[in-house]
Each structure stands twice: as C-alpha cells, then as structure tokens.
Amino acid sequence: MKNKKVEDLAYFKSSNVRILVDYNDYNIKDDNRLLIPFSYSQRFGLMNKGGEVVVEPEYDIISDSCYEESDLIRLGKYYTYGYNRKTKDPSTYLGIKWGLIDSKGNFILDSIYKSIDISDDKKILTVRYMDFQYEVIDVDGVVIVPKGFYSWIDTFVNGLARVISMDGENKKWGIIDELGNQVLSLRYSRVWKFANKNQRLIPVETIDEHGNTHIGQFDLFTREVSI
C-alpha cells in the first residue's frame, strides 16, 4: 500500500473504508446513519442516533451500512478450523460466521452461516450453511427454496437468480424467480451473470449430444430463450 491514499481505497472499496476516531472527537448529530458501528475492546457493535447500544460489541466485522429502514446489516464472528495432514502439522484457517439484523437491530438470522447474500430489493436472502448447502428465504423467514435443493444459488437481481444442479460431474444451469419457480430450465451448460439491473439479454450455453457448443440469449423481461 506504499504511496496510496486512503481516498483512493475509499473510491474502489467504499463499503470497507472507515476512519476511526475517539468518541469524544465524534459528533453523532452529523452522522445520518440509522445504526452506527462502534468498537469496544476490539469488538464491534451498533448504536442508534441517540447513542444507545442496539447491538452489543461482540462481533469481529460489520459488512453493511444502514441509512434506510429497509437496509439489512450482516454481522460476522471469526472462527478457526483446521485439517490434519499426514506428513506435516495440521493446517489452520480463519473463517467468518455471518448473521443478519434489520435497521432497528432486530435479529433476522443468527451468526451461523458461511455466507448471506441480500437481493437488490432487500427482501430475499440466499444463505449458505457451514456444510456448504444453499437455501433461499425471505426476510420474514419463509423458506422459498429448501436447503440442499440446488448445488449453488446466486444473489437475486430483479427477482431472478442463477442456480446450479449437479448431474453426475456435470453442472446444469438454470434461473429461478423470487417464488422459487424455474424460469429457465436446468438444461444449460452455462448461464452468464446478470448483475446490471438494466440488463435485458444474457448469454446462455448448451452442448449437444455431439459435443458441439451453442450460444444463445435469455431475455430477462420476456423470459424467452433464443438459441
């Protein structure tokens, strides 16, 4: 990080750069966040605009900012794990278990997940358990796609998410909607990412019985395929 400025890091990683100051040098009235992170004894918590502790400082990482009532905040706790090796000492690693709260500090999910992805409308959660299995739920806890139904589930954008199901050693790609319905059947060898909310057409790929690759397009609006 030699010769870099903090403002350069903030430009590329705006959600991860914070300037730490002592509480006595901080004016809470100038902060327009609904929940404000603070640190105590090297752990992080959250306070409200009145300076009251809403979430106790027992977390190692806070991933999101809270400016609107619809915002959701991921909270992480570190854990260690390792693997035994026959010829060397065990390998140890540091991971994070994630939980989720709403803008009032109410817990939606306990810190037991390997990852939590939030849809662009902040209503649908794609969670990955510590055993690497995926599940989709809404913010009220209603299960949309049960755990383990798909091998992989992407974050929802515009009410749609890519999914993968394993057919032996082969990946079969498809797309589901916010109700868990398949809008693109699981018959594709690849479906490209659609992170842009204004994007309409995305490439899809199939491989025929002769091993030939065919590229087509899926219309995110009409939900029709041309290939």
Give the pLDDT confidence of 94-153 residue by residue, as tens digits.
999 999 999 999 999 999 999 999 999 999 999 999 999 999 999 999 999 999 999 999
Which has more pLDDT, 216 or 16?
Answer: 216
- Tokens for 126? 């794609």
Report DSSP state, residue 179: T
pTM for the whole thing? Answer: 0.86
Q: What pLDDT is recorded for position 177? A: 97
DSSP result, 48-74: -TTS-EEEEEEESEE---B-STT--EE
Cβ–Cβ under 8 Å, residues 224 and 185: no
Positive or negative torsion for Cα 224, 205, 202, 120: positive
Give the pLDDT confidence of 55-100 residue by residue, as tens digits.
999 999 999 999 999 999 999 999 998 877 777 777 888 999 999 9
Q: What pLDDT is recorded for position 195? A: 76
Q: How confident is the model at residue 219 (pLDDT cuts 50, 70, 90)?
A: very high
Cβ–Cβ under 8 Å, residues 110 and 129: no
Arithmetic mean of pLDDT over the chain: 90
Is the pLDDT assigned to residue 154 strictly greater than 90? Answer: yes
Q: What pLDDT is recorded for position 4? A: 67
Report DSSP state, residue 152: E
Helix, strand or coil, per DSSP, at residue 10? helix
DSSP helix, strand, coil percent of the chain (3-state; round to 5)? 5, 50, 45
Q: For residue 56, what are the contacts with CB-CB under 8 A and spacing of at least 6?
A: 45
| Gap between the Cα atoms of 225 and 121, Å rounded | 25
Give the pLDDT confidence of 10-58 residue by residue, as tens digits.
665 445 677 778 888 888 889 999 999 999 999 999 999 998 999 999 9
